[in-house]
Chains A and B, each alone.
Chain A
């Protein structure tokens, strides 16, 4: 079955893509770039790097832009998926949804309206097992947005490795964050993955951080041989 993967550039969509490629044919990535950093549906910090990730993975990419206005942005997502059907003949969509009923429900409805399959291979997965598997299977994801206490500016640009995971596990206990960031506590950018033939190197970036909220804005990044 030919599938399109909804890709924000973060760890969940790339891990979902990794799982989908083991079972079916991933024909393209689908990315929605939101101008609204408060978007309910779409991860925003560094979606401009999805084309570089797509190149690293050797996958075609369909990108649409949205103003990110609640519910209206769903029309833009539907438009992107429709383009993927026309250009790549996809029969289904894959998402990296973990716990968000809001997001999952809306993607499911769009897929029903377009008569497409919808797959959420990380749905209600065990967060501990998932995060460990992410690290051991060769993903390099860095934190590019933090939106909750106790995340300091030091977290921006930090790779999710065993040490970072240990700190996140402590924050689950001390600050009741979700381990995966599904509660919106942090956002990630994937720099390397098993499916990538090249890795992404960040050459220039800026941090903005105040009151436990901040972004790592990547200004320049390139692909490098692995």
Chain B
């Protein structure tokens, strides 16, 4: 079971269908069952049953999650694979000591792979959809695996299976979520 975490400013918001729904559709297509929870109410039961966790994105103007970093402290204690998408990558980085800075990208952008990664397309560069107002300066020791002209686009934890992508893979890069699902099955 993959746990999809909604990072929108409130549970059941109008953003849910835009940022959680498309990811859920790819996870289902990859043959994985999923469940979802809002970041403000993650329970031990949600985490116990998860063999993978995806932290979904938020609307461009929605940075409420970044003011509630303590709500993500459970990310320090888990060992299942985690994929943070956009706001999800920001939350993942913040809770591990990374920082954010203003850097807006909207629309298709060229992403250059700087280090081979099991989740990223197997090519030196690819086009990806961006929708973010802030960029991450990753936590110390984390590996940067892709960049755009504006900012870091993909990171991974040095030891644990924690991955972050700043672009939105649910738009034209389904393979990132599909490869994450494959990783969760291993």
User: B61 contacts A121, CB within 8 Å?
Assistant: no
Partner among B21, B104, B108, B172 whose Cβ is within 8 Å of the Cβ of A112 = B104
Interface: A173 (CB within 8 A): no
User: A101 contacts B13, CB within 8 Å?
Assistant: no
In Å, the complex CA distance between A91 and B173 comes to 31
- Show 16 A/B contacts (Cβ-Cβ < 8 Å), sorted by A: A20-B14, A23-B13, A94-B14, A101-B107, A108-B60, A108-B107, A112-B104, A115-B61, A118-B60, A119-B18, A121-B14, A121-B18, A123-B21, A124-B170, A124-B171, A125-B25
- A70 CB to nearest chain B CB (Å): 16
Partner among A109, A119, A124 whose Cβ is within 8 Å of the Cβ of B59 = A119
Tell me the chain A residues, 62-112 only, with Cβ under 8 Å from chain B: 92, 94, 101, 105, 108-109, 111-112
- A113 CB to nearest chain B CB (Å): 10
Top 5 closest pairs, chain A to chain B, by CB: A124-B22, A105-B107, A23-B14, A123-B18, A121-B17
Interface: B15 (CB within 8 A): yes
Partner among A24, A112, A120 whose Cβ is within 8 Å of the Cβ of B18 = A120
Partner among B12, B25, B106, B107 whose Cβ is within 8 Å of the Cβ of A23 = B12
Tell me the chain B residues, 135-186 only, with Cβ under 8 Å from chain A: 170-172
User: B106 contacts A125, CB within 8 Å?
Assistant: no
In the complex, residue of chain B having the shortest beta-carbon distance to the beta carbon of A124: B22
Kindly supply a per-residue 1/0 record for chain B positions 1-40, scoring 1 wherever the CB is within 8 Å of any chain A CB and 0 otherwise: 0000000000011110110011001000000000000000
Interface: B131 (CB within 8 A): yes
In the complex, residue of chain A having the shortest beta-carbon distance to the beta carbon of B61: A117
- Report the contact-size class of chain A (Cβ under 8 Å from the partner): 20 to 34
In the complex, residue of chain B having the shortest beta-carbon distance to the beta carbon of A122: B17
Chain A residues in the interface with B (C-beta under 8 A): 19-20, 23-24, 92, 94, 101, 105, 108-109, 111-112, 115-126
Chain A residues near B104 (CB-CB < 8 A) = 112
In Å, the complex CA distance between A3 and B14 comes to 11
Besides A108-B60, A119-B59, 15 more A-B contacts (Cβ < 8 Å) are: A24-B14, A92-B61, A101-B108, A101-B172, A112-B60, A117-B59, A117-B61, A119-B18, A121-B17, A122-B17, A123-B17, A123-B18, A123-B22, A124-B171, A125-B22
- A95 CB to nearest chain B CB (Å): 10
User: B108 contacts A105, CB within 8 Å?
Assistant: yes
- B10 CB to nearest chain A CB (Å): 9
Partner among B17, B25, B106, B170 whose Cβ is within 8 Å of the Cβ of A105 = B106
Chain A residues near B172 (CB-CB < 8 A) = 101
Interface: B129 (CB within 8 A): yes
Chain A residues near B171 (CB-CB < 8 A) = 101, 124
- A159 CB to nearest chain B CB (Å): 25
Given contacts A23-B12, A119-B15, contact A112 B107 (CB under 8 A): no
Given contacts A108-B106, A109-B106, contact A125 B60 (CB under 8 A): no
In Å, the complex CA distance between A101 and B21 comes to 17
Chain A residues near B129 (CB-CB < 8 A) = 101
